[in-house]
């Protein structure tokens, strides 16, 4: 009946209502768990006629396709074929995802008038007592918001409905609600009104896989479609929760979070982040470079995109092209080039912070991340002049790696041993650099025979502590000079004390008493001075 040409006009008139009816019927069929094959009808109905077996789910799916084709929406069927909608719709667990994808095809191929007719129908079923109808209606409702004309419908409390669903304990309802928020944030003006939801949405970044993915996408769209300087504030408020997701053990979460970060950084860069926000953005470098060593091509692609935007924000423009064209086969070479540039660019304090971030990943239950962290440390220390690094900081690096000598993965044990040997080699190689001191200090050390102490750089100490060390070194030199200076001062005072002063005919002593001169000025001989041997300097 549906495939008959005489029915097409009627189907087009009844299209939205009829489509919802056959989709609801499909949901009922797949929940019955009926046998895959059963006899539905006989060709002639007479004795000896051949019976044709049919799969009930396949029949229901065929009815859905025929409704779409009869309504002249072939594009929807093509979209559904490309996105595996029929497989999703035939499984009770993923039925609602199939509805989302099918609705996406409808939004892309149907005129706005049809979309509003569907919206009016599902709106009455959003709080139905029948769970099948409620899930079908809410899924349609959330995905229809992808279309701007639907999202701008007057008199609709879209965000209010979506927030109520997110608060329900049912994970499907949470995911559907978050999908609706994500779609709503795409449209002008909506993102600004949704910024107040960010603290609420942030709590869903530690949830079940699909809920977490939808929460990430919602936050991404709120940030990427924001129009004001508040965009930087919103990004800053979620950066600490977003960063761990880049190394999440679940591939879907890792890919979604990394791809979203790339889009967010692109948007944040438009508003010229200040020094405080740039410090937060630096914390993403190590997680990205570690995930960059994954064997999953999709993860590597997402990391390449995020690192490309990261270099633009931070200003490492010479690495931008490299990350844009990275593939799975050359990512270790790219990592080495990045570590080399990082050592030549970063201040010692920042370099130490980046290295110390790896220490946490050395204890990861995921072997891939442990390997990646050792690689990062090994390639970074290879580029550092380890002779200039303070012994305590070198020991910290060695201790962190030593704890992995008994790693359950043999390849990691071998990598750790190689890295430790290389660090020892880097420390012992080459002459000790001359410490930077003033010419006066160096000459004084030469005269006294004292050896100038080497000035070591700190990796894992703050800049303020380094300045304190500088002051301490200067104080040591000054205190050493006090001895010779005090001796000179004493010698000078003693000489002044024993030198007579001539005033007229009176010999005035330093104590103030006056005695007659025994000789006239013309007969006065040069006074005999007491020789005082100065102390050696």
Cβ 391 vs Cβ 349: under 8 Å: no
Strands 501-503 and 51-54: unpaired
Among 99, 115, 149, residue at a domain's last position? 149
Q: For residue range 479-519, what is the model confidence (pLDDT) as tens digits?
A: 656 666 677 667 667 665 565 544 444 444 444 444 444 44
Distance CA 83, CA 368 (A): 31
Look at residue 378 and tell me if it is in a domain.
yes
- The tokens for 406 are 């008994």
CATH classification of the domain holding 364: 1.25.10
Element at 51 (helix H, strand E): strand 51-54
- Residue-level pLDDT at 529: 39
Distance CA 437, CA 289 (A): 38
Look at residue 167 and tell me if it is in a domain.
yes
Cβ 48 vs Cβ 73: under 8 Å: no
Residue that the structure tokens 């080497």 belong to: 454
114 pLDDT band (50/70/90 cuts)?
A: very high
- Residue-level pLDDT at 441: 46
Pairwise pLDDT comparison (455 vs 340), residue with the higher score: 340
Collect all residues with Cβ–Cβ distance below 8 Å to 509 and sequence separation of at least 6.
500, 515
Cβ 483 vs Cβ 377: under 8 Å: no
- Residue-level pLDDT at 3: 76
- Residue-level pLDDT at 4: 75
Q: What is the mean pLDDT of residues 153-169?
A: 94
Collect all residues with Cβ–Cβ distance below 8 Å to 196 and sequence separation of at least 6.
none
Q: What is the mean pLDDT of residues 19-30?
A: 95
Same domain, 91 and 190: no
Distance CA 432, CA 454 (A): 8
Same domain, 13 and 90: yes
Indicate if the pLDDT at residue 26 is higher than 70: yes
Same domain, 128 and 165: no
- Residue-level pLDDT at 464: 40
Look at residue 282 and tell me if it is in a domain.
no
Q: For residue range 197-253, what is the model confidence (pLDDT) as tens digits?
A: 999 999 999 999 999 999 999 999 999 998 888 899 999 999 999 999 999 999 999
Q: For residue range 34-45, what is the model confidence (pLDDT) as tens digits?
A: 666 555 555 455
Distance CA 78, CA 247 (A): 36
CA 162 to chain centre: 28
Tell me phi and psi for residue 42, to 5 degrees: -105, 145
Same domain, 166 and 126: no
Q: How many CA atoms lie within 13 A of 131 on its CB side?
A: 8
Collect all residues with Cβ–Cβ distance below 8 Å to 434 and sequence separation of at least 6.
none
Look at residue 499 and tell me if it is in a domain.
no
Distance CA 282, CA 255 (A): 20
55 pLDDT band (50/70/90 cuts)?
A: confident
Same domain, 18 and 141: yes
Q: What is the largest CA-CA distance in the chain?
A: 167
Residue 502's region, left for phi above 0, alpha for psi from -120 to 50, else beta, is beta
Element at 352 (helix H, strand E): helix 348-361
Most confident of 6-10, 253-257, 462-466: 253-257
Distance CA 136, CA 306 (A): 36
Indicate if the pLDDT at residue 185 is higher than 60: yes
Q: For residue range 454-469, what is the model confidence (pLDDT) as tens digits?
A: 578 888 864 344 444 4
- Residue-level pLDDT at 505: 44
Among 399, 428, 457, residue at a domain's last position? 428
- Residue-level pLDDT at 325: 86
Residue that the structure tokens 């009869």 belong to: 70
- Residue-level pLDDT at 8: 79
- Residue-level pLDDT at 457: 84
- Residue-level pLDDT at 454: 54
Geometric angle at alpha carbon 269, from 266 and 272, rounded to 5°: 170
Indicate if the pLDDT at residue 9 is higher than 60: yes
Geometric angle at alpha carbon 307, from 179 and 337, rounded to 5°: 160
Same domain, 145 and 205: no
Per the structure, the complete domain to which residue 129 belongs is given by 1-34+54-149
Alpha carbon separation from 125 to 131, 190, 196 (Å, rounded):
10, 25, 28
- Residue-level pLDDT at 44: 53
- The tokens for 305 are 């995109």
Same domain, 4 and 123: yes
Same domain, 75 and 191: no
138 pLDDT band (50/70/90 cuts)?
A: very high
Ordered strands of the 506-508 beta sheet: 501-503, 506-508, 514-516
Cβ 211 vs Cβ 171: under 8 Å: yes
Distance CA 49, CA 108 (A): 46
CA 327, 218, 249, 208 torsion-angle sign = negative
134 pLDDT band (50/70/90 cuts)?
A: very high
In the chain, the N- to C-terminal Cα span, in Å, equals: 116
Look at residue 76 and tell me if it is in a domain.
yes
Mean pLDDT of the chain: 83
- The tokens for 246 are 């880049």
Q: Is 319 helix (H, G, I), strand (E, B) or coil?
A: helix
- The tokens for 280 are 């937060």
Indicate if the pLDDT at residue 356 is higher than 80: yes
Look at residue 314 and tell me if it is in a domain.
no
Look at residue 246 and tell me if it is in a domain.
no
Number of domains in the chain: 3
Q: For residue range 73-110, what is the model confidence (pLDDT) as tens digits?
A: 999 999 999 999 999 999 999 999 999 999 999 999 99
Residue that the structure tokens 């019955």 belong to: 32
Q: What is the mean pLDDT of residues 429-444?
A: 47
Same domain, 190 and 88: no
Q: For residue range 287-298, what is the model confidence (pLDDT) as tens digits?
A: 999 999 998 999
Same domain, 101 and 2: yes
């Amino acid at each position: 009946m549906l495939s008959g040409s005489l029915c097409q006009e009627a189907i087009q008139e009844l299209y939205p209502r009829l489509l919802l009816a056959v989709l609801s019927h499909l949901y009922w069929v797949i929940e019955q768990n009926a046998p895959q094959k059963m006899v539905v009808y006989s060709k002639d109905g007479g004795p000896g006629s051949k019976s044709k077996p049919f799969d009930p789910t396949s029949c229901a799916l065929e009815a859905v396709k025929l409704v779409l084709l009869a309504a002249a929406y072939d594009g929807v069927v093509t979209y559904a074929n490309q996105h595996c909608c029929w497989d999703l719709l035939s499984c009770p667990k993923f039925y609602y995802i199939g509805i989302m994808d099918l609705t996406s095809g409808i939004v892309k191929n149907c005129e706005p008038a049809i979309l509003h007719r569907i919206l009016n129908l599902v709106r009455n079923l959003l709080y139905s007592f029948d769970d099948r109808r409620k899930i079908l209606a809410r899924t349609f409702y959330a995905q229809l918001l992808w279309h701007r004309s639907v999202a701008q419908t007057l008199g609709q409390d879209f965000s209010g409905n979506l927030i109520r669903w997110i608060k329900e304990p049912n994970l499907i309802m949470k995911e559907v609600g978050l999908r609706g928020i994500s779609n709503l944030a795409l449209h002008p003006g909506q993102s600004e009104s949704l910024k107040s939801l960010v603290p609420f949405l942030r709590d869903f970044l530690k949830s079940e896989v699909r809920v977490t993915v939808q929460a990430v996408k919602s936050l991404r769209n709120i940030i990427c479609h924001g129009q004001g300087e508040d965009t930087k504030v919103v990004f800053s408020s979620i950066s600490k929760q977003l960063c761990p997701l880049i190394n999440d053990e679940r591939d879907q979460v890792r890919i979604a979070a990394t791809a979203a970060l790339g889009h967010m950084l692109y948007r944040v860069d438009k508003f010229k982040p200040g020094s405080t926000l740039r410090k937060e953005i630096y914390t993403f470098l190590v997680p990205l470079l570690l995930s960059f060593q994954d064997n999953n091509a999709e993860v590597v692609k997402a990391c390449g995109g995020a690192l490309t935007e990261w270099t633009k924000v931070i200003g490492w423009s010479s690495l931008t092209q490299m990350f844009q064209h990275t593939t799975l086969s050359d990512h270790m070479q790219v990592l080495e080039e990045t570590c080399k540039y990082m050592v030549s660019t970063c201040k010692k304090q920042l370099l130490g912070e980046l290295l110390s971030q790896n220490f946490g990943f050395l204890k990861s239950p995921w072997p891939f991340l442990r390997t990646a962290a050792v690689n990062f440390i090994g390639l970074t220390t290879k580029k550092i002049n380890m002779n200039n690094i303070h012994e305590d900081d070198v020991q910290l690096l060695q201790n962190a790696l030593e704890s992995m000598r008994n790693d359950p993965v043999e390849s990691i044990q071998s990598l750790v041993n190689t890295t430790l040997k290389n660090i020892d080699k880097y420390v012992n190689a080459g002459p000790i650099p001359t410490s930077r001191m003033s010419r006066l200090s160096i000459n004084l050390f030469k005269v006294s025979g004292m050896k100038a102490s080497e000035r070591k750089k700190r990796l894992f100490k703050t800049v303020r502590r380094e300045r304190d060390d500088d002051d301490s070194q200067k104080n040591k030199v000054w205190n050493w000079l006090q001895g010779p200076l005090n001796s000179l001062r004493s010698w000078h005072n003693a000489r002044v004390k024993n030198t007579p002063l001539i005033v007229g005919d009176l010999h005035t002593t330093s104590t103030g008493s006056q005695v007659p001169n025994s000789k006239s000025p013309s007969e006065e001989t040069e006074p005999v001075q007491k020789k005082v041997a100065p102390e050696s300097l």
